[in-house]
Amino acid sequence: MTGTPPPQPATASAYDPTAKALHWLTALLVIGMLGLGLWMVGLPISLQKAKVYSWHKWAGITVLALTLLRIVWRHLRPPPSLPGTLTPLDRRLAPWGHAALYALLLAMPLTGWTMSSAAGIPVVWFGVWQLPDLVGKDEALFKALQTTHHILSRLLIAVVVIHIAAVIRHDVLRRDGVLRRMLPFAR
Ligand code: HEM
Ligand code: HEM
């Protein structure tokens, strides 16, 4: 089929350039979003707070779009098989850790978007395209989703910290080259 990239060779030892670009773009955005989210909730009600909330929302929708694209790309170009030096436990844990990250990368924006709809405030992507409301205005649902978004954000912070700690453990302590698989210019 034209336009479909060939599958990643079975012997590949690194992610393909698109997967790397999507990983690092998402990582930057998510770290920024976590910082922005934690800061903005404490701001006094003002025009600035409304502006920052609106940036947070459209940047979060961008994470959703990138994650959906990434999941499709992952099916077209499966990641390289794990290095043979990994212990059987690491081998079993790695896919679960990555699945948890993907689940949270979808759940955070979806709870945010639904929360915004339940509050009766539409999401305007890049301040230009108004997205459809996912639910009608509903105060009780808004409160429940606000709590869910809050709890999921703490879970995401924990999983990202574990993810980064795991990469450091592999590369600094065990030197098994896991980070090189995802570095932009490493082959
Ligand atoms: C990867 C995506 C996202 C991340 C990492 C993220 C992270 C956060 C964090 C850390 C907070 C502060 C929570 C607290 O301390 O209570 C927050 C609040 C909030 N987020 Fe997100 N968010 C994301 C996506 C979205 C999206 C797509 C929307 C809406 C379209 C959204 C709407 C909100 C709103 C309205 C609040 C403030 C809730 C309140 O005032 O209590 N978020 N977010
Ligand atoms: C918010 C930040 C981050 C998120 C959401 C995130 C998410 C992910 C996800 C979902 C994967 C799995 C990719 C796949 O197989 O489809 C992955 C892999 C990877 N990430 Fe991150 N990541 C983040 C930050 C980082 C940072 C800061 C580092 C470097 C210290 C890093 C290094 C890696 C490496 C090396 C892999 C490949 C692991 C392997 O070879 O199996 N990530 N990341």
Query: Is 131 contained in some domain?
Result: yes
- Whether ligand 2 lies within 6 angstroms of the CB of 104 is answered as no
- pLDDT tens digit sequence for 16-53: 999 999 999 999 999 999 999 999 999 999 999 999 99
Contact of 69 with 29, CB cutoff 8 Å: no
Query: Closest ligand to 170 CA?
Result: 2
Tokens of 23: 């990983």
Calculate ∠ Cα 56-59-64, nearest 5°: 120
* Structural domain total, the chain: 1
Q: Phi then psi for 9, rounded to 5 degrees? A: -60, 145
Residue 85 alpha carbon to ligand 1 centre in Å:
39
- Whether ligand 2 lies within 6 angstroms of the CB of 165 is answered as no
CA 159 to chain centre: 11
Residue 6 alpha carbon to ligand 1 centre in Å:
37
Taking 70 as the threshold, does the pLDDT of residue 143 lie above it?
Answer: yes
Q: Identify the residue whose C-alpha is closest to ligand 2 atom 42.
A: 164
Question: Diameter of the chain by CA atoms?
Answer: 55
Q: Phi then psi for 160, rounded to 5 degrees? A: -65, -40
Which CATH number covers residue 140?
1.20.950
Query: Is 23 contained in some domain?
Result: yes
Query: Is 148 contained in some domain?
Result: yes
Taking 60 as the threshold, does the pLDDT of residue 97 lie above it?
Answer: yes
- Whether ligand 1 lies within 6 angstroms of the CB of 60 is answered as yes
Taking 70 as the threshold, does the pLDDT of residue 9 lie above it?
Answer: no
**Whole-number pLDDT of residue 11:** 44
Domain membership of residue 80 as a residue range: 17-181
Contact of 187 with 28, CB cutoff 8 Å: no
**CB-CB neighbours of 141 under 10 Å:** 16
Contact of 57 with 123, CB cutoff 8 Å: yes
Query: Is 150 contained in some domain?
Result: yes
